[in-house]
Amino acid sequence: MVLNSNRKILVTGAAGFIGAAISKKLLLKGDYVIGLDNLNNYYDISLKKSRLNHIESISNDDKWKFFQFDLEDYHDLDYIFNKYSPNIVINLAAQAGVRYSLENPSSYIRSNLVGFGNILEVCRKYKINNLIYASSSSVYGGNKKLPFRETDPVNHPVSLYAATKKSNELMANSYSHLYKLSCTGLRFFTVYGPWGRPDMAPMIFTRSIIESKPINIFNYGNMSRDFTYIDDITEAIYKCTFKPATIDPEFDPLKPNPSSSNAPHRIFNIGNNKSVELLYFINLLEKNLNKKAISNLKPMQLGDVKDTYADISKLDNWINFRPKTSIEVGVRNFVEWYLKHY
């Protein structure tokens, strides 16, 4: 294995699901990692701390630094960049969750817009040569044409969370255009696996099945998701750290491609390239838990979308990426971890 001895990578949201996973991968590959997270109480802080403990258990102290603060605090952020001089930034910090955005919209404004604006500003100031940031499949909103492609219009978000992620893409493009900042936006599709978020369906369903509690299945189960296993996600992010975004030489301003630019900014779907029926996903959980779910069928919830399905051909062409983990193997691995951890 070739170790990356000269790379300093700053990861925001490092105590989060994807942030912790990519931090571990980078450390195992020999990178120097500076992790940032505010450890907010949106979900169980003890899980976030367990992720950090797991990172520390596999890290060399000289290669891993962690700091707790909000990205809205520009001065702290500037201090970290000035002290550690990262050359790559992976921005995964955000207020997550579609449904929670109905209850607490102001937190999305602060974290996803102000916080991301501060990230862009310090990346500009310190001339970062590769910014990778999290977008979301939720930007496709009410689009009905499947699979979702980056060339599709995304002008009709159905949640504030989706609107902030679309805003991030626009903000990144403007900084890329004005300051030649290389930005890669990744639209994540329903990430699941060990160490996952407890506010997402896999964790909610698993806990409820074990405890013999009903699970709410929206749109009466008539939904599907492009479930993407965490190891596939981190592999794609890792490959993007070696390939900063570039200007698209084929970009035509008369027929602009929404996923590329005449600035060094690219947007990619990152999914499993396969849509799985929600009821089949629940069936896999039942099989691995050896216990039937108690189903509570409900109408579609405000802010949700019926189906997601990622076309990942652009990402495949960019970094030679194809997901390797089937839904059957991914769910088995997730359940094994859940039973061990909890």
- Catalytic site positions: 161
Distance of alpha carbon 98 from alpha carbon 165, whole angstroms: 11
Please, which residues have CB within 8 angstroms of residue 250's CB and are 6 or more apart in sequence? 257, 260
Helix and strand totals (H; E) in the chain: 11, 13
Encoded amino acid at 231, one letter: D
CA angle 153, 262, 322 (to 5 degrees): 60
Q: CA torsion angle for 169, 175, 180, 185 (degrees, to 10)? A: -20
Going across the sheet that includes 265-270, the strands are 64-68, 32-37, 8-12, 88-91, 131-136, 183-188, 265-270
Paired with 216 in beta bridges are 296
Q: Can you read off the two tokens belonging to residue 173?
A: 């493009």
What secondary structure letter does DSSP report for 148?
A: B
The CA distances from residue 7 to 4, 46, 87, 280, in Å, are 6, 30, 7, 42
Give the integer Cα–Cα distance in Å for 263 and 248: 7
Please tell me the distance from the alpha carbon of residue 304 to that of residue 307, in angstroms, as a whole number: 9
Tokens of 68: 């707790």
127: phi > 0 → left, psi -120 to 50 → alpha, else beta; which?
left
**Contact assessment for residue 310 and residue 137, using Cβ atoms and an 8 Å cutoff:** yes
Whether residue 228 contacts residue 234, with contact meaning beta carbons closer than 8 Å, is answered with: no
Please answer whether residues 26 and 5 qualify as being in contact, where contact means their C-beta atoms are separated by less than 8 angstroms: no
